[in-house]
Structure 1
Amino acid sequence: MSKIVDGLINLPPWLVLLVAFALPAAEASIFVGVVFPGEIAIIVAGVLAHAHKLPLWLVIVVGTLGAVIGDSIGYEVGARYGDWVLARLPKRLVKPEHVEQGRALLRRRGGWAVLIGRFTAALRALVPGLAGTSRLPYRTFLPYNLVGGLAWVTMSALIGYIAGASYKAAEHQVSLISGGLLALIVLVVLHQIARKSQRVQSWLARHRYKLPDRWLTASVLMLTAGGWLLAGLVQDAQGPTGAASSDSRLLHDVIGYQRAWLTPVARGITTLGAWPVAYGVVVVLGGLVAWRARNRVLPLCSVALLGAGQGVRLAISHAVARPRPPRGLWLTGADGYSFPSGHTTLATIAYGLAGLLLLRLLPASRLATVLVSLVAAVLAAAVGVSRVYLGVHWPSDVAGGWSLGVGWLALATTVYTLVRLVRLRRSANRLVPAEAAPEPQVVSPAP
């Protein structure tokens, strides 16, 4: 693998760009991804973008097109020839009932399977064909394919871009990310199997165990991931080592994209993370929830969580005491220490809570949940990027703000879920079936 990468890095830039299109396209269409992961070509193209041999935006566009087109071809192959292939496989290896269960699962939650599968080398080449074989509608497949392809290519290109000449370290980093996501998927699948297995449920009942709630499991995983990343960034920011060692180079690369028309846009976006705007959005939506839904607890808890999260951010900031970038790079005002980014932390927590409040006002539907979550994530991401663009934060400051914000929301969700489960269990224990009262005997009057 290392020799192949060394060969790619020495190719002409236009040829590397062509490979960055062709290799992701071939992953699922002709199953090349089973042998050779496509992110290698994207990383190498990102390294060349760092050396100013290729535009970074062009790498992302070309790689995304290759990934989306290749997965679409894999989907069509599965839709047309998947049954033919499955019919010729030994029944002892692929049981028909298992195939039908897999198709039913993809029909129910296929879009998320396509999105998550994009980030795992073990599934990336197989999920599109399986989605076609399972008759997942293409109108459902395509949006998740687009979002997953764009996110995966952007992540891989940025890792190569940040790593610069150390492309082998970048390759190892992507492998760790893919392995972590694959481990997460395996844990989720095992959890779902355990919930549906009568044997497992019987064994747990005999030993007085109970599987954790689905929301509790997800929130604990997010809390662990956010806390782990934040702890690593805190350590790097005090060095600076690790991720923080690339801050100066990446900051100047981002500043190189400054344009006269883009700077006012960035200043407008960054105000979305200022405390008057963030608190204002939460307070207004909280007031609407209190008025329309007659729920005052959620709005009050949301404002309290936002304030407490900001307090934790200030404590970390004073403990690390990291100075900001040189003042000559600033395009907007700023005060206080640099790590973690206050605007980014506040935007992540505030718009996460605002999304929760907004969902209480909208009709319950999966589409509304997805759209509101996507808007909240885009706003938090845009505020973080604007802070680097305006020169007032190092990139790892923004990453720390995202980590703290996500971890804080996950902590609140975990505590809420635990309290709710404890209350439900206490209510169930207090609920004693009333004994049937004896029927009153009717005595006929004496004649």
Structure 2
Amino acid sequence: MAEFLEFLSNLTNPDWIVAHGGLYLLLFIIFAETGILIGFFLPGDPILFIAGIIIANLTLGPIDSALTLLYWVALIAAAGILGNFVGYWCGKYFGHRLLKQRDTWFFKKEYVFRAQDFYHKRGGVAIILARFLPVVRTFAPIVAGIVEMDFKKFAFYNIIGGLLWVGSLVTLGYLLGENEWVQHNLEYVIIGIVVAATAPVVIKMITGRKKTTVHAEAAVLEEEEY
């Protein structure tokens, strides 16, 4: 367990990443987080930001640096897109087994039915937004496969979402990578990225609970009136 925690902490260290696989390690992490169920704990957003920092600190000329940025973004985005495809097909071909199981605290069939309705209404937007939400981006393609979201539609938004997610965060890291304050306060920057990414989920959960409570209270009042 100690070695595992040490591995996770090292993933926020650009020098350690460069010394232990560099781009290949980044590709594996992004693929695992988006395509393997147990990869939900991997820090995808910070990893992408750090990838940009690594590129910015390479001893390259302006043109070579820009080309390297595009090359890395293309490869990492491809890894994330491929990961989502794997998640989708796993959900499609193994999801029926989950639906046959009894409900547990971790998985309830009701969640799938809700997700199915959500994807029917705003499936494309859901796939894109999920890219920017930790944990959610791991489960979103699997659920899309379980509810049998149209594959062409999923593929289109998967590619768009992957390019936007990787392109924006890697480019941000690249633009700020040579900033001394960012280099000396990288831990705080990463915490800020994680907070910014998870805040929408937390807000949605809080507001959703409030709406549920209000509706429940309204229903009780209506019953009392009758």
Q: TM-score range by the shorter chain?
A: 0.7 to 0.9
* Gap runs ≥5 in structure 2: 1-7, 60-64, 178-182
Conserved? CA contact 1:24–1:39, under 8 Å: no
Q: Which amino acid aligns with 2:31?
A: A
Q: 1:185 to 1:58 in 2, by over 3 A?
A: farther
Matched residue SS, 1:76: helix
Residue of 102, 122, 128 corresponding to 2:115: 102
Check conservation: 1:107, 1:134, Cα contact below 8 A: no
Q: Is this contact kept in 1: 2:128–2:158, CA < 8 A?
A: yes
Which residue pairs with 1:39 in the alignment? 45
Task: State whether structure 2 residue 10 is matched by structure 1 residue 3.
Answer: yes
Tell whether the 8 Å contact from 2:26 to 2:76 is kept in structure 1 after alignment: yes
Which ranges in structure 1 are unaligned for 5 or more consecutive residues? 207-447
Deviations 1:124-167 (A, max 9, x none): 11111011001111112122212221121122213322332343
Provide the residue aligned with 2:27 in structure 1.
21
Deviations 1:291-314 (A, max 9, x none): xxxxxxxxxxxxxxxxxxxxxxxx
Q: 1:193 to 1:110 in 2, by over 3 A?
A: farther
Pair 1:111–1:17, CA change in 2 (3 A): same
SS at match of 1:121: coil
Quick check: 1:34–1:121 contact (8 Å CA) kept in 2?
yes
Q: Percent identical across equivalent pairs?
A: 21
1:91 counterpart letter in structure 2 = D
Question: In structure 2, the residue corresponding to 1:161 is in which secondary structure?
Answer: helix
Which residue of structure 2 lines up, in the alignment, with residue 156 of structure 1?
169
Contact 1:19 1:41 in 2 (8 A): no
Alpha-carbon deviation of 1:112?
A: 1.8
**Contact 1:119–1:178 (8 Å) recurs in 2:** yes
- Indicate the SS of the match to 1:10: helix
- In 1, are the aligned partners of 2:92 and 2:147 still within 8 Å (CA)? yes
Paired residue total: 202
Change over 3 Å in CA distance of 1:112–1:192 after alignment to 2: farther
Q: Is the 8 A contact 2:17 2:25 kept in 1?
A: no
Equivalent residues of 1:13, 1:48 under 8 A apart: no
Instruction: Give the 3 Å change call, closer, same or farther, for CA 204–186 of structure 1 in structure 2.
Output: farther
- Equivalent position amino acid for 1:82 in 2: G
Correspondence for 1:120? 133
The one of 189, 198, 202 aligned to 2:219: 202
Task: Give the 3 Å change call, closer, same or farther, for CA 97–152 of structure 1 in structure 2.
Answer: closer
> In the TM superposition, what is the alpha-carbon distance from 1:74 to its structure 2 partner?
0.5
Judging changes above 3 Å, is the alpha-carbon distance between structure 1 residues 95 and 46 closer, same or farther for their aligned structure 2 residues? closer
Q: Is the 8 A contact 2:10 2:17 kept in 1?
A: no
Relative contact order (C-alpha < 8 Å, sep 6+): which is higher?
2
- CA spacing shift, 1:115–1:191, aligned 2, 3 Å: farther
> What is the match of residue 62 of structure 1?
75
CA distance in 2, matches of 1:148, 1:191: 30
CA–CA distance in 2 between the matches of 1:188 and 1:69?
A: 33
Deviates more, 1:121-130 or 1:103-112: 103-112
- Alignment partner, residue 103 of structure 2: 91
- The CA deviation at 1:183 is 2.5
Asked if structure 1 preserves the Cα contact closer than 8 Å seen for 2:51 and 2:170, the reply is: yes
Q: What does the per-residue CA deviation read over 1:170-225, in whole Å, with 9 as the maximum and x for residues that have no partner?
A: 32221121122222443564477568x4x34436889xxxxxxxxxxxxxxxxxxx
Shift of the 191–155 alpha-carbon distance from structure 1 to 2, 3 Å rule, reads farther
Say which SS state the counterpart of residue 135 (structure 2) adopts: helix
Please state which structure has a larger fraction of its residues in helix: 2
1:82 lines up with 2:101 in the alignment = no
Given that 2:34 and 2:87 are in contact with CA atoms closer than 8 Å, whether structure 1 keeps it comes out as yes
- Whose radius of gyration is greater, 1 or 2? 1
